[in-house]
Amino acid sequence: MRRQRRGLKLLALILGLSLVAAACGDDDDDEGAAEEGEGAEEEFQQGGEFIDLSAFSQGPAENIDPALSTTVSASQVGESLYDGLTKVDYSDIENPVVRGEAAESWEPNEDGTEWTFTVRDDLFFSDGTQVLPSSFKRSFERSSEPDFAGDYSYLFSFFEGGQEKLDGAADEITGVVADDDEMTLTTTLSAPYANFDAVIGFKLFAPMPEAVEELTDQNEWETMDGGLIGNGPFMLDAPINDQEIVLVPNPEWDGTKYDEELGLPEQPYLDRLTFRVSADQDTAYNAFEAGEGQTATIVAGRVQEAVDNYATTLNDPALGIYYFQINDRDPRVGGEENKLLRQAISQAIDRDEINQAVYEGTRTNATGITPPGIPGFQEGLCDYCEYDPEAAQAAYDEWVDAGNSLAEPLPIQLNADAGHEPVVQIIIDNLDAIGIPATAEAIPSETYFGQLAEGACVICRAGWLADYPTYDNFMFDLFDTSALDGNNYGYSNPEFDELLAEAKATTDADTAADLFQQAEQILLNDDIGTIPINWYLGTVAYNPDEVANLSQTPDFHIVWETVALANP
Amino acid sequence: MTSYIIRRLLQIIPTVFVALSFLFFIFFALPGDPASLIAGGAERTIDPGVMERINARYGLGNSIWAQFGDYWQRTIRWDLGESFLNRRSVNEILGERAVASIRLAIWAVIIEVIVGLCVGLLSAIRRYSWSDKLTTIVTAVASAIPVFVLGFILQWAFAVKPNQWDWPEWARLRTSGIGPNSWTLFFIPTGEQWRYLILPAITLASVTTALLARMTRGSMLEVLRADYMRTARAKGLRERDVVVRHGLRNAMLPVVTLIGLDFGTAIGSAVLTETTFSWPGLGSQIVASVNDRDLPVLLGLTLAVVLAYAFVNLIVDISYAWFDPRIRLGKGEHA
Distance CA A332, CA A413 (A): 14
Helix H segments across chain B? 2-29, 34-38, 48-58, 64-76, 90-125, 130-144, 147-155, 161-164, 193-224, 227-234, 239-241, 249-268, 271-276, 282-292, 295-323
Residues of A in contact with B288 (CB under 8 A): 59
* H or E stretch at A478: helix A472-479
For A449, the closest of B45, B172, B293 (CB atoms) is B45
Does the structure show a pLDDT above 50 at A182? yes
**pLDDT (mean) for A363-383:** 93
CB–CB of B174 and A242 under 8 A? no
A194-208 pLDDT tens trace: 889 999 999 999 999
Angle, in degrees to the nearest 10, between helices A472-479 and A494-505:
150
If one compares B210 and B86, the residue with the highest pLDDT of the two is B210
Does the structure show a pLDDT above 50 at A20? no
**pLDDT (mean) for A162-189:** 96
Residues of B in contact with A299 (CB under 8 A): none
Does the structure show a pLDDT above 70 at B50? no
Closest CA to A121 of A109, A103, A108, A106: A103
Pairing of strands A97-100, A114-119: unpaired
Distance CA B78, CA B91 (A): 8
Give the range among A87-101, A209-223, A309-323 with minimum mean pLDDT: A87-101
| A417 in reach of chain B (CB within 8 A) | no
CB–CB of B177 and A276 under 8 A? yes
Strand partners, A34: A44
If one compares B28 and A163, the residue with the highest pLDDT of the two is A163
Give the range among A274-278, A499-503, B48-52 with minimum mean pLDDT: B48-52
Can you give the pLDDT at residue A15? Answer: 47
Does the structure show a pLDDT above 50 at A430? yes
pLDDT classification of A42: cutoffs 50, 70, 90 = low
pLDDT classification of B63: cutoffs 50, 70, 90 = confident
Can you give the pLDDT at residue B279? Answer: 95
Our CA-based measurement puts residue A299 at a distance from the nearest CA of chain B, in whole angstroms, of: 14
Convert A226-273 into a string of H (helix), E (strand) and C (coil): CCCCCCCCEEECCCCCCCEEEEEECCCCCHHHCCHHHCCCCCCCCCEE
**pLDDT (mean) for B224-235:** 85
**pLDDT (mean) for A115-122:** 97
Tell me if B62 sits within 8 A of B54, measured CB to CB: no
Provide the residue count of chain B.
335
CB pairs under 8 A between A and B: 119
**pLDDT (mean) for A207-225:** 92
Give the range among A467-476, A522-531, B192-201 with minimum mean pLDDT: A467-476
* B residues 219-248 closer than 8 Å to A (CB): none
Does the structure show a pLDDT above 60 at B43? no
The per-residue pLDDT of chain A, averaged, comes to 89
Give this complex's ipTM.
Answer: 0.84
If one compares A568 and A175, the residue with the highest pLDDT of the two is A175
Does the structure show a pLDDT above 80 at A86? yes
Dmax (CA) of chain B: 84
Provide the residue count of chain A.
568
Can you give the pLDDT at residue A34? Answer: 37
**pLDDT (mean) for B295-313:** 88
Can you give the pLDDT at residue A485? Answer: 53
Most B CBs within 10 A among A219, A224, A292, A445, hence the mutation to make, goes to: A292
Angle at CA A349, nearest 5°, toward A345 and A354? 150
B108-163 pLDDT tens trace: 999 999 999 999 998 998 888 888 888 888 888 888 899 999 999 999 999 999 99
- Residues near A62 by beta carbon (within 8 Å), at least 6 away in sequence: A68, A69, A70, A71, A74, B85, B86
Can you give the pLDDT at residue B233? Answer: 85
Can you give the pLDDT at residue B49? Answer: 66
Residues of B in contact with A296 (CB under 8 A): none
**pLDDT (mean) for B90-96:** 90
Most A CBs within 10 A among B88, B176, B284, hence the mutation to make, goes to: B176
pLDDT classification of B104: cutoffs 50, 70, 90 = very high
> pTM above 0.80?
yes
If one compares A1 and A252, the residue with the highest pLDDT of the two is A252
Pairing of strands A540-542, A103-108: unpaired
| A482 in reach of chain B (CB within 8 A) | no
**Three-class secondary structure of residue A73 per DSSP:** helix
Distance CA B255, CA B113 (A): 9
Does the structure show a pLDDT above 60 at A8? no
Our CA-based measurement puts residue B248 at a distance from the nearest CA of chain A, in whole angstroms, of: 40
CB–CB of B96 and A242 under 8 A? yes
Can you give the pLDDT at residue A210? Answer: 97
CB–CB of B176 and A286 under 8 A? yes
Residues of A in contact with B279 (CB under 8 A): 279
Tell me if B22 sits within 8 A of B313, measured CB to CB: no
Distances (CA, A) of B219 to B115, B171, B244: 16, 39, 13
Can you give the pLDDT at residue B328? Answer: 66
A445-478 pLDDT tens trace: 767 877 887 788 999 999 888 888 899 999 988 8
| B112 in reach of chain A (CB within 8 A) | no
Strand positions, DSSP E, A524-563: 530-537, 540-542, 547-549
Most confident option among A2-11, A383-392, A439-448, B242-251? A383-392
**pLDDT (mean) for A309-337:** 92
Does the structure show a pLDDT above 60 at A39? no
Residue A288 exposed, middle or buried by CB count within 10 Å (0-12, 13-18, 19+):
buried
Convert A377-428 into a string of H (helix), E (strand) and C (coil): CCCCCCCCCCCCHHHHHHHHHHHHHCCCCCCCCEEEEEECCCCCHHHHHHHH
